Structure 1
Amino acid sequence: MPTITTDDGCPINVEVSGSESAPPLMLSNSLGTDLHMWDDQAAEFARHFRLIRYDRRGHGKSGAPKGPYSFDRFGRDILAVLDALGVKKTNWCGLSMGGMDGQWLGANAPDCVEKLVLANTNYHYPDKAPWVDRLRYLEQHQLDEMVVANMERWFTKGFRERDPQAIARMTKMFVASDHDGYMACVAAVRDIDFRASNPTIKAPTLVIVGTHDPATPPANGEVIAKAIPGARLGALDAAHISNVEQPQAFTKAVLDFLK
């Protein structure tokens, strides 16, 4: 599990699996998670790809330098990882923040991208008040004080009731995030605007939405799919973290598109 240092000195925790001769696939996590959010997909993806997982700055075992952060900064982190691994072009699968990373890459580093999967994500927040409110809350509270509400956004009630082990795993992952790093990421998400850049994306793209997703509703994904030329749209019976709530269906959708 290598640690790759970016141009500003931030250590990025990276895990690589699968054959070095296989085509690369890089996975990117949601806000408040680490690379283990992909554990349900990792083994199957690694059968077909050189699988690259990483913790974004402020999360997991990566560094959490003082903010502000931006998607330009996250993008440079990703390019540093690819360069250190000798990967010139990769497939990409990102969920939520990871889908925002993918939109940035598709528009700003097109030569590095083979195909894009953008899951449960957004492209712009005209109303920034919910993010401002979250930042204000976190100035006085810890992540464990908002984790229950977060799980309610991430997963449907039925899934929370039938798979408490998954909820416990994701809860532990969320509260382990660096508090200040999480806040810096929240501010970066608040400020995204890919409205002008998404139509320039040339990579074949699959947009996945969760039919019960309150965090990034299906309509947001539909707008992304319409903006990116030739993009496909798929839906899963899930809330926000669809790869955990519907692991088999998510894995199949991604592999059917990438292979």
Structure 2
Amino acid sequence: MTTAAVPRTVLLIHAFPLSSEMWTAQKAALEAAGLQVLTPNLPGFGGEAGELLGLDQAARLLLDQLPIEPVSVVGLSMGGYIALELLALAPERVGRLVLADTHAQGDDEATTQSREEQAVRVLKEGPGFMIGKAEQEQAPATAAQTRRMTLQASREGIAAALRAMAARPDRRDTLRAAAERGLPVLALVGTQDDLTPPEQAREMARLSGGQVTELAAAGHLSNLDQPEAFNQALLDFLL
């Protein structure tokens, strides 16, 4: 681990197709611990105008909102992809990194095709089909939260984000470079995460020289499924 000062600012990057509202419990816990917390909405989500032209563009937009000194960056799912883009773009601005329920690999052909099909469908039908699928897979309390946030996203924003995720590069070399720098990295994952399972979190920890924490009885949105355990893992790592 690096001997640099622990950052006092934390950037929380939300998941697809949600908004910064997903971080309500984490923001409260981190601020209670004396940290400054930034929870921006990405273009097209949470009522925010615009759409993502690429995940690298998202990283540049977030970089413009950060203080000059290094910050702790926390990203979940799509937010983790963007956190890796930010790290690749400006490694000197990242003092600590938490990658939650995500992975560093690029999409394979089947996933790329699936994202394109979803993008076309959401532009025609809206996000209703995505909500129905989420409600089948998620715990009731989590599904209620994700439904509200998904309905705040624009069709264009959702479609653009799907295509941006499909076009993202493999970032495993970015994690290897982080290991060379001694960047503190935590991979967080729900034990029941079927989309980005624990073995992918373990790979990220291995590549980065970081650590991994697996949260019991949590799925892909582990911060919503098990907020207290997620918060404690963050506090233990970021303070």
Bin the TM-score by the shorter chain.
Answer: 0.7 to 0.9
CA 1:135 to 1:61, structure 2 compared with 1: closer, same or farther past 3 Å? closer
Q: Distance in 1 between matches of 2:116 and 2:192?
A: 24
The answer as to 2:22 corresponding to 1:37 is yes
Aligned length: 224
Q: Which has the higher helix share?
A: 2
In structure 2, what is the equivalent of residue 209 of structure 1?
Answer: 189
SS of match in other structure, 2:11 = strand
Q: Distance in 2 between matches of 1:55 and 1:216?
A: 23
Normalising by the residue count of structure 1, what TM-score does the alignment of the two structures yield? 0.81
SS of match in other structure, 2:92 = helix
Q: Distance in 2 between matches of 1:28 and 1:134?
A: 22
SS of match in other structure, 1:121 = coil
Residue of 164, 174, 177 corresponding to 1:197 = 174
Q: Distance in 2 between matches of 1:94 and 1:34?
A: 12
- How far is the alpha carbon of 1:185 from its aligned partner? 0.6
| Contact kept in structure 2, 1:24 and 1:87, CA below 8 Å | no
Q: Distance in 1 between matches of 2:17 and 2:101?
A: 14
Residue of 87, 108, 116 corresponding to 1:126 = 108
Partner AA of 2:205 in structure 1: A
- How far is the alpha carbon of 1:191 from its aligned partner? 2.0
Residue of 232, 245, 249 corresponding to 2:211 = 232
Normalising by the residue count of structure 2, what TM-score does the alignment of the two structures yield? 0.87
SS of match in other structure, 1:197 = helix
Query: Superposition RMSD on alpha carbons, in Å?
Result: 1.7
Residue of 61, 65, 68 corresponding to 1:81 = 65
| Contact kept in structure 1, 2:187 and 2:204, CA below 8 Å | yes
1:76-96, Cα deviation, whole Å (9 max, x unpaired): 0111111xxx44211111111
Partner AA of 1:121 in structure 2: T
Partner AA of 1:63 in structure 2: A
Partner AA of 1:88 in structure 2: E
The answer as to 2:92 corresponding to 1:111 is yes
Residue of 141, 147, 154 corresponding to 1:171 = 147
In structure 1, what is the equivalent of residue 83 of structure 2?
Answer: 102
In structure 2, what is the equivalent of residue 9 of structure 1?
Answer: none
Q: Distance in 1 between matches of 2:62 and 2:84?
A: 13
Partner AA of 1:43 in structure 2: A
After the TM superposition, which segments of 4 or more aligned residues of structure 1 sit over 6 Å from their partners?
none
Q: Distance in 1 between matches of 2:90 and 2:225?
A: 31
Partner AA of 2:86 in structure 1: L
Q: Distance in 1 between matches of 2:56 and 2:220?
A: 24
| Contact kept in structure 2, 1:30 and 1:95, CA below 8 Å | yes
Which structure 1 residue ranges, 5 or more long, are not aligned? 1-21
| Contact kept in structure 2, 1:74 and 1:101, CA below 8 Å | yes
